[in-house]
Structure 1
Amino acid sequence: MKRLYSFLLLFISALFMVRCTTNKEVDLIVYNAKVYTVDSVFSQKEAFAIKGGIFVDMGTSEEIQNKYVAKEVIDAGGKAIYPGFYDAHAHFLMLADMLEQVNLNGTKSYDEVIKKLIVYQQENPDKRWIIGRGWDQNLWEDKSFPTKDSLDKYFPETSIFLSRVDYHTALVNSKALHIAQLDTTRPVPGGLMAVDSLGNLTGILIDNAMELVSRHIPVSEEHHLLLGLRKAQDSLFSVGLTSIVEAGLSLEELEHLKKFYQQDSLKIRNYAMIGGNARDIERYIREGIYESERLTIRSVKLMADGALGSRGAFLFEPYSDDSLTQGFLLQSPKELDDIIRKIIKTPFQISTHAIGDSANRLVLDIYGKYLKNGEKKRWRIEHAQVVSPSDFSKFAQFRIIPSVQPTHATSDMYWAESRLGAERVKGAYAYKTLLEQYGKLALGSDFPVEHFNPLYGFHAAVTRVDKNGFPAGGFQMENAITREEALRGMTIWAAFSCFQEKKRGSIERGKDADFIILDEDIMTAPDNQLRDIKTLRTVIAGETVFLRQ
């Protein structure tokens, strides 16, 4: 009996040992899902396991549940799961500031702008500056730029600074001009101070001229900035964003971000670009690439020209609706060349804002002058909005990544042809052509210029219509992309554009466990429902950072 008893004990112990070695412990199992891994073959799975913030395995629900035991288990209820969305061009700090400003998006007239400002002042009577953003004269019956006259009438003692929707033009009042000691026009390289027929300032400042006034706006205190960023971060999590590219910050702003991330005060993954200030660039070149778990600083953001909506984009020929201007460069060709020549000797990436066809050719040609291995450098052109037919091939020739924002096409399509003309507009918002040249597209939103919801960009990219389904048949549909291409553009290709495709952008073994669960499948849902699909859960490194109640 004793021998039998001992044998049973050994047998039970062996079974226990087998169970322990077979069922490996992990932190989280997600099963009963339709998992779009966005791997190289776009495979689908049912379940995956996560440990230490990393995907460790994926397979069928039965395979994963039999193989692992977990501290937490999520039954996805058959819902679709995707890698965390990655916005390849955004302005996080601007979004945080925007939440404290007067929202002028969608205003239908200058009178409506004034009414919103009056209400804001009544609610904030002690404000010395009123900052607003988002107005767009293209939406008004009178599509000419507004002037400061009404602002002076209603706000004679309060400084006003109102950014246009593209952040490349501002309207200010006389009080703000007085504080900036601006009473007459002066030459502004890469910018314009608009005047009326008598030579008086109208209050419109374009591109580099904006900084003459904006430098006098009081800076937010550090703790207030962090609160704004956390609020903005919550908004991004609620739409499935787990990674973003911060497209250009000053040295001071970058230092704030580094401090916040070092204190674990922010969770969203951030690929922050150094704004094209020579002093800041030289400092970071000396210090080298900065990389932590959730913050990376390894790209330099340069500005070639302005925006199409404010006629600051630099074109070969004058604007079709204004023969007196063809836009302008924000930095001279020599200045751009000098900076790029310095950066080529470093491991830093270059990302240059270029909207107009002339600006795009200039940047492509300067890039090509210095690049010997473009694939390795992964230099980017941000927007690549209007490209001459003969220049598309340079994206392939020099291996330049097109970083584009699909909602720009559906926001600008109402007036883009009037700016560019019927022939030139064919080379605008040409996402399919750019994709065919490079083989990848980095997709972003440019928020807060556009809304931060990545599904608005997904919808615009594949349907080329606005939220109301206009125009019937889509805007220049020859440049629509497929749903798979759009999903890759906002996950793995966005990660690639930031040298991070081995760490994130897809659901694969060894990668950061960033994923989202949506209430409907964006790969199969009807076109007219795409913008309304909700994020149910957002997870970063295995931690749920948003859960829809």
Structure 2
Amino acid sequence: MTRILLRNGVIHTGLATGGPASAMAVEDGRIVWTGTDPTVFMRAGFASPDEVVDLDGRLITPAFVDSHVHVVETGEQILGLDLVGAPSRDAVLEKLATYVTGLTPDALVIAQGWDESLWPDPTLPTAAELDRASGGRKVYLNRIDGHSAVVSSALMTEVPGITGLVGWTPDGRVEREALRALLPLLTDLTPAGDAERGARAALQSMAALGIGAFHDNAGPDIGPESDLTAVQSEAAAIGLHGTYYWGAHLGFDDLDRLDDLSGLAGDLSADGSIGSRSAAMTSDYADLAGHRGHAYLAPEQMAEHIIGCTRRGVQAGFHCIGDQAIDNIARAFRLAARTLGREVVRARRHRLEHCELPSPAAIETFADLGVIASVQPMFDGLWGGPDRMYAARLGERWQEMNPFRTLLDAGVRLAFGSDSPVTPLDPWAAVHAAVHHRTPGQGITPAEAFAAHTAGGWYAAGIDDTGTLAVGQRATYAVWDRTAFPDLTAPDVADVTTACLQTVVDGRTVFEKDRSEKEGVR
């Protein structure tokens, strides 16, 4: 039995009720007391703690949960060629040319994060330009949303028949079937051990940011099963709590073959993305007349998936962004409820990833059937507003994107994530973005936003005994280098983001900043 007493701090419990707390007692990984006078509690039976931690006035909160992350891909970005923020096509090519210096001629280069919507000239690099910049190497440059890429000639020639697949273009841009055809090749060409190294780097970064739990959105269109295994192994070693989804349509055999799956959910794609113009819309894209994206699954196909998952006691879920795709999913859930019954469907806590442009009718369906919206506030932070990518692609419809206030008011539960490497691992910035939504009236309160990035993530995973610092809950918390809960209403996100000093999961320390830098946390 391990007993720890934390005192002299600022305890933000995450609860809507209850008085202030400056101390907390943990026994065998569970919270057994919170309050202001630890001597009272110690006299009542906790007289001999194994460890007393003086917080020196520091803030302690529930640890964050990232409800949508791609762990191995995040690690690849951390360890490899990161193109996030590259200001132009020329900058991308320059970064590539610098990165390949010293690599062997047969090396595979995987890079992520370019976003042409931020460039003065949105013209993409071509395969021929990648060939020149890379010295003829195999190059795969993934767009920031992961739904299109540009690739070099050397890589394309490794996939027989790619020129006949939907989504292939001779200038090196690939999407849809052509993009999926490249994934097995990337796996075959990736050196042994890279998945483990990437997973480790990503998980260590999460722990250092006060993220104690994550939902890995894996699947056959994301990466191989070995990536999932690598994440599970590294998470167990580090101590983070993982929830694992495998986005395979009707992949019921996978539930028996793969360990520790919570569902056939996550990035099982009902459509694509706004940035790649592949999200399925009910109206034309403003910058591409006659084009409405792509719906990858019919309502009846998705209903079969929902019914099968529900009967097997696991979560179903879909990646969905455009209103047509989301309407299709709403119809699928109504079909499933007609077959199984409303309460049976509600009890399973099925989920949607992104759910960016839901219609009022779809929102009503999701609220009625208990479907959770796993959303990414930094999507709005990066691409919302009248002069950014959503407006360029959708015109005035940008104001309908990511309606957090509307979803909450309708009764839809929210869970926040990053979709890293699509947006950065930065939970405080995400909470701030949800409060300062770019569409007037769609911002939510600081308490609601913080809850969505903590307790909301646990709820979305079907776990109800953690997410707040209440008696009986798992001791999963973070200690921060500040003496008060941040003012999330402050306009500058720099006033919110702060250094994490310690992250604890189920009573186990998974991250602790160097003792010389902790300024009193001991």
Report the TM-score when normalising by structure 1: 0.85
Residue 57 of structure 1 is matched in structure 2 by 33
Residue 415 of structure 1 is matched in structure 2 by 389
Residue 101 of structure 1 is matched in structure 2 by 80
Counterpart CA distance in 1 for 2:112 and 2:151 is: 12
**Conservation of the 8 A alpha-carbon contact between 1:36 and 1:42:** no
Deviation at 1:546, TM superposition (A): 1.9
Give 1:37's aligned amino acid: T
Deviation at 1:425, TM superposition (A): 2.4
Deviation at 1:335, TM superposition (A): 3.4
Residue 215 of structure 1 is matched in structure 2 by 184
- 1:518 and 2:518 are equivalent in the alignment: no
Deviation at 1:277, TM superposition (A): 4.9
The share of aligned pairs that are identical, in percent, is: 25
**Conservation of the 8 A alpha-carbon contact between 1:538 and 1:547:** yes
Write out per-residue CA displacement over residues 228-262 of structure 1, whole angstroms, 9 at most, x where no aligned residue: 3222222111110000011123443334444556x
Residue 498 of structure 1 is matched in structure 2 by 461
Counterpart CA distance in 2 for 1:396 and 1:332 is: 21
After superposition, the CA RMSD in angstroms is 2.2
Distance 1:394 1:40, change over 3 A: same
**Conservation of the 8 A alpha-carbon contact between 1:356 and 1:387:** yes
Q: How many residues align?
A: 494
Deviation at 1:287, TM superposition (A): 6.3
Write out per-residue CA displacement over residues 345-368 of structure 1, whole angstroms, 9 at most, x where no aligned residue: 210101211000000110111012
Name the SS for the 2:449 alignment partner.
helix
Counterpart CA distance in 2 for 1:92 and 1:72 is: 34
Deviation at 1:61, TM superposition (A): 3.2
Deviation at 1:435, TM superposition (A): 0.9
**Conservation of the 8 A alpha-carbon contact between 2:127 and 2:152:** yes
Residue 332 of structure 2 is matched in structure 1 by 366
**Conservation of the 8 A alpha-carbon contact between 1:55 and 1:508:** yes
Residue 7 of structure 1 is matched in structure 2 by none
**Conservation of the 8 A alpha-carbon contact between 2:247 and 2:264:** no
Residue 10 of structure 1 is matched in structure 2 by none
Within a 5 Å distance, the mapping from 1:456-467 to structure 2 comes to 456-464=429-437
Counterpart CA distance in 1 for 2:347 and 2:304 is: 21
- 1:432 and 2:411 are equivalent in the alignment: no
Q: Among 444, 460, 481, which residue is 2:444 paired with?
A: 481
**Conservation of the 8 A alpha-carbon contact between 2:240 and 2:510:** no
- 1:347 and 2:326 are equivalent in the alignment: no
Give 1:209's aligned amino acid: A
Residue 154 of structure 2 is matched in structure 1 by 175
User: Unpaired segments of 5 or more residues in structure 2?
Assistant: 518-522
Residue 204 of structure 1 is matched in structure 2 by 173
Write out per-residue CA displacement over residues 344-393 of structure 1, whole angstroms, 9 at most, x where no aligned residue: 32101012110000001101110121132243111111111112244322
Deviation at 1:509, TM superposition (A): 2.2
Residue 29 of structure 1 is matched in structure 2 by 5
**Conservation of the 8 A alpha-carbon contact between 1:86 and 1:241:** yes
The higher radius of gyration belongs to: 1
Residue 197 of structure 1 is matched in structure 2 by none
Deviation at 1:478, TM superposition (A): 0.6
Q: Among 471, 484, 494, which residue is 1:509 paired with?
A: 471
Distance 1:364 1:378, change over 3 A: same
Deviation at 1:542, TM superposition (A): 2.0
Deviation at 1:126, TM superposition (A): 4.7
Report the TM-score when normalising by structure 2: 0.89
- 1:232 and 2:206 are equivalent in the alignment: no
**Conservation of the 8 A alpha-carbon contact between 2:262 and 2:315:** no
Residue 15 of structure 2 is matched in structure 1 by 39
Name the SS for the 2:79 alignment partner.
coil
Q: Among 327, 331, 347, which residue is 2:293 paired with?
A: 327
Residue 402 of structure 1 is matched in structure 2 by 373
Deviation at 1:270, TM superposition (A): 0.5
